Chains A and B, each alone.
Chain A
Amino acid sequence: MGDHHHGPAKGLTRWLFTTNHKDIGTMYLWFSFAMFILGGSFAMIIRAELFQPGLQLVEPAFFNQMTTLHGLIMVFGAIMPSFVGLANWMIPMMIGAPDMALPRMNNWSFWILPPAFLMLASTLFMEGGAPAFGWTFYAPLSTTYAPPSVTFFIFAIHVLGVSSIMGSINIIATVMNMRAPGMTYMKMPLFVWTWLITAFLLVAVMPVLAGAVTMMLMDIHFGTSFFSAAGGGDPVLFQHVFWFFGHPEVYIIILPAFGVVSQIIPTFSRKPLFGYASMVYATAAIAFLSFVVWAHHMYTVGMPVAGELFFMYATMLIAVPTGVKVFNWVTTMWRGALSFETPMMFSLGFLILFTIGGFTGLMLSIAPADFQYHDTYFVVAHFHYVMVAGAVFSMTGAVYYWLPKWCGRMYNESMGQVHFWVSFIGFNITFFPQHFVGLAGMPRRIPDYALQFADFNMMSSIGAFIYGASQILFLYNVIATIVAGEKVSDEKTWDGAEGLEWTLPTPAPYHTFEVPPMIEAEPAH
């Protein structure tokens, strides 16, 4: 041993037993991309069935399994692990730490994920089929009327919940205890800040999700009646518990994306981030408000007027800190020396499309109007603007932004630009028409629809195939970069980049910051 600069172990056991944050980050990123492709292929089946009215390709029961698994896999398998992977790679390098605080737990929190999703996907081949009750799994659909495979679904949720909680504890412990000397909280890069707050949200609400599925399990197998009216329970209780988890969950998904964009936009504007402190406070405000708005998902459930008003105003209040963030990103670019490399393009795409998704969210927050929009394609359009154009675009930008630092090779810029434009156009062809069919009354989660929605649905499906195909281009570009990309060795891949990760050699060595760096007096963000 002795030599501190030893490289990784060889062979498969390197990946099985690794405690290195970069290895674990890499595994998270590849795993989440695999889940992105799997969840995406389910979306392709959905859009293929909806290409024309009538039933052409799949049975309605299978269609419902597809919408359910698409949602579950994208939320829990693709988006969340991808940002955990990014956190693993970047947080130690951004705060000058040698590794994550709890490296062995880090290994475990990754390695329990693949079995959980294997189990979830295997329900497709079970008797009665996979869960078909939507990713929100409302009782009694998910209890009384659920297929037998629901028990495997519940166990999978428990396992991935444990994984998320362990990952979050690790991130908080790292950020709170392992910052380089002189790296005060208000000098941390914004990505670290948004992840710190996200991790607190995860620790608070993943146990609530575990509680919800535990109650389902008890109702199904142990004769309790939490959600069964016949035994004195209430199905509406499920919705309250689920959305008490579910609303913070949407910020768990989007806050790290905010962090990524807050790193990329200053780099390509060649200016420091505008309003750093207000960004931190806005993130904290959004996280706090996320706990008191859950019932805006349930306006039509029969709440008292006072309840509807409270949740309506509290929800609208979230537009204020979110507006602060959008303002700061735009102002960062104002009079900057802008350039438009692929990461910047994805960040700009994020900025425009996320803002559209935010506005439709504001429309949905208005309780009396929501009675019309509820459970229509308008909602589908809204959350895909924030989930795909928000989280996925930002994540894609992050991969292009840090890939040269990770592997010491430059991606193909032209192919990156093509990927961006095909994604951007494909995404909008897919989801923009869904606003219109939603407002016209097309319900979500149906395999067939009325004839007047046919044209917009065909557009939507064509857009989805374009968007889906563009991800193959992304995969090719990343693999081509790793295998045969043009070698780069500058510490700063991007001339405008700031932060500790850009003081490291390129590609980033297996072990970094074994000696903590000196933090200068000026802020590091």
Chain B
Amino acid sequence: MMRINANPTMDTAIKLLAVAVAMFAFVFVVMVPLYNVLCDVLGINGKTDGTAYTAVSTVVDESRTITVQFIAQNNDEMPWRFKPQVTMMKVHPGAANDTTFFAANPTSDDMVAQAIPSISPARAAEYFHKTECFCFNQQPLDGNADTAMPLQFIIDQDLPKDIQTITLSYTLFDVTEMVRDAVASR
């Protein structure tokens, strides 16, 4: 092995220190990005793609009907009212579908929210394509205001045959502080 220092003890110590520094960097440079890539690619944790789906759907598979259920919930201490327009839809793979979620800010303060999606079963996540979603952006809402937030999605024709029901859950997080801090630090 290559000698870095003429003193063998210092040589060993310097190499080991380099290993320790490399392992610290490994956490940030490899582990975190790799985890996010793996979750995106494999759809683990029911994470859906964070950006809009742009591919054009060609065939609508009328022979299959998939039940899509919607759940809306607040993260703790989030005071907004948050609910789906419909709790359940029956859709065909390949077809474009529209629905809406309603949110209302009952407080007198201007707030910002972020909705985080999760698909169950997690295997279905990579076949659930959103062409438009309010979850792609943060949702600012004035005090005592309400809003309708659109969602457009297509279920992929390649969805495994054994999946008949997909549950899409949104958790609404209060990110007002986070946004304010980011603005303040700019």
Which residues does A use to contact B, with CB under 8 Å?
Answer: 101-102, 105, 165, 168-170, 172-173, 176-178, 203-208, 210-212, 214-215, 223, 225-226, 229-232, 234, 236-237, 240-241, 244, 302-304
Q: Is A304 a contact of B44 with CB atoms below 8 Å?
A: yes
Contact residues in B for A205 (Cβ distance below 8 Å): 23
Contacts A230-B75, A234-B35, A302-B122; is A173 near B13 (CB within 8 Å)?
Answer: yes
Contact residues in A for B185 (Cβ distance below 8 Å): 223
Cross-chain contact of A204 among B23, B31, B122 (Cβ < 8 A): B23
Distance from A214 Cβ to chain B, minimum over Cβ atoms (Å) = 8
8 A-B pairs, CB-CB below 8 angstroms? A165-B20, A177-B9, A207-B21, A211-B27, A212-B27, A237-B35, A237-B36, A304-B122
Cross-chain contact of A176 among B12, B75, B181 (Cβ < 8 A): B12
Contacts A102-B13, A173-B9, A211-B28; is A203 near B19 (CB within 8 Å)?
Answer: yes
Contact residues in A for B182 (Cβ distance below 8 Å): 223
Does residue B144 face the partner (Cβ distance < 8 Å to A)?
Answer: no
Q: How far is the CA of A211 from the CA of B29 in the complex (A)?
A: 11
Q: How far is the CA of A205 from the CA of B24 in the complex (A)?
A: 9
Q: How far is the CA of A213 from the CA of B98 in the complex (A)?
A: 43
Q: Is A169 a contact of B17 with CB atoms below 8 Å?
A: yes
Q: Is A229 a contact of B116 with CB atoms below 8 Å?
A: yes
Closest residue of chain A to B78, judged by CB? A230
Closest residue of chain A to B46, judged by CB? A302
Q: Which residues of B88-102 have CB atoms within 8 Å of chain A's CB atoms?
A: none
Which residues does B use to contact A, with CB under 8 Å?
Answer: 8-9, 12-13, 16-17, 19-24, 26-28, 31-32, 35-36, 39, 42, 44-47, 50, 75, 114, 116, 122-123, 171, 173-175, 178, 181-182, 185
Counting chain A CB atoms within 10 Å of each CB, which of B24, B42, B178 scores highest? B24
Q: Is A240 a contact of B23 with CB atoms below 8 Å?
A: no
Distance from B70 Cβ to chain A, minimum over Cβ atoms (Å) = 18
Q: Is B175 a contact of A231 with CB atoms below 8 Å?
A: yes
Q: A206-B20, A211-B24, A211-B28 are in contact. List 9 more A-B contacts (CB 8 A).
A: A169-B13, A172-B16, A173-B12, A173-B13, A207-B22, A207-B24, A234-B36, A302-B122, A303-B44
Contacts A203-B20, A237-B35; is A102 near B44 (CB within 8 Å)?
Answer: no
Cross-chain contact of B45 among A170, A204, A244, A302 (Cβ < 8 A): A302
Closest residue of chain A to B123, judged by CB? A304
Distance from B185 Cβ to chain A, minimum over Cβ atoms (Å) = 7
Q: How far is the CA of A272 from the CA of B158 in the complex (A)?
A: 64
Q: Is A173 a contact of B35 with CB atoms below 8 Å?
A: no
Distance from B118 Cβ to chain A, minimum over Cβ atoms (Å) = 9
Contacts A205-B23, A240-B31; is A177 near B12 (CB within 8 Å)?
Answer: yes
Closest residue of chain A to B19, judged by CB? A203
Q: How far is the CA of A240 from the CA of B26 in the complex (A)?
A: 13
Contact residues in B for A232 (Cβ distance below 8 Å): 50
Q: Is B23 a contact of A203 with CB atoms below 8 Å?
A: yes
Closest residue of chain A to B116, judged by CB? A229
Contacts A102-B13, A165-B20; is A234 near B39 (CB within 8 Å)?
Answer: yes
Q: How far is the CA of A170 from the CA of B114 in the complex (A)?
A: 49
Distance from B68 Cβ to chain A, minimum over Cβ atoms (Å) = 20
Contact residues in B for A178 (Cβ distance below 8 Å): 9
Contact residues in A for B178 (Cβ distance below 8 Å): 223, 225, 230-231
Closest residue of chain A to B47, judged by CB? A234
Q: Is A226 a contact of B23 with CB atoms below 8 Å?
A: no
Q: Is B173 a contact of A229 with CB atoms below 8 Å?
A: yes
Cross-chain contact of A241 among B9, B21, B31, B122 (Cβ < 8 A): B31
Contacts A212-B27, A231-B175; is A168 near B9 (CB within 8 Å)?
Answer: no
Contacts A208-B26, A211-B28, A244-B31; is A203 near B173 (CB within 8 Å)?
Answer: no
Cross-chain contact of A169 among B16, B23, B174, B175 (Cβ < 8 A): B16
Closest residue of chain B to A145, judged by CB? B76
Counting chain B CB atoms within 10 Å of each CB, which of A208, A225, A230, A234 scores highest? A230
Distance from B54 Cβ to chain A, minimum over Cβ atoms (Å) = 21
Closest residue of chain B to A212, judged by CB? B27
Counting chain B CB atoms within 10 Å of each CB, which of A170, A231, A236 scores highest? A231
Cross-chain contact of A210 among B24, B35, B44, B47 (Cβ < 8 A): B24
Contact residues in B for A212 (Cβ distance below 8 Å): 27
Contact residues in A for B21 (Cβ distance below 8 Å): 207
Q: How far is the CA of A207 from the CA of B31 in the complex (A)?
A: 13
Distance from A192 Cβ to chain B, minimum over Cβ atoms (Å) = 15
Contact residues in A for B23 (Cβ distance below 8 Å): 203-205, 207-208, 211
Q: Is A207 a contact of B27 with CB atoms below 8 Å?
A: yes
Q: How far is the CA of A212 from the CA of B185 in the complex (A)?
A: 24
Distance from B120 Cβ to chain A, minimum over Cβ atoms (Å) = 9
Closest residue of chain B to A199, judged by CB? B16
Contact residues in A for B116 (Cβ distance below 8 Å): 229-230
Distance from B49 Cβ to chain A, minimum over Cβ atoms (Å) = 13
Q: How far is the CA of A237 from the CA of B27 in the complex (A)?
A: 11
Contact residues in A for B17 (Cβ distance below 8 Å): 169
Contacts A176-B12, A208-B23, A208-B27; is A304 near B173 (CB within 8 Å)?
Answer: no
Q: Is A230 a contact of B16 with CB atoms below 8 Å?
A: no
Q: How far is the CA of A178 from the CA of B7 in the complex (A)?
A: 12
Contact residues in B for A225 (Cβ distance below 8 Å): 178
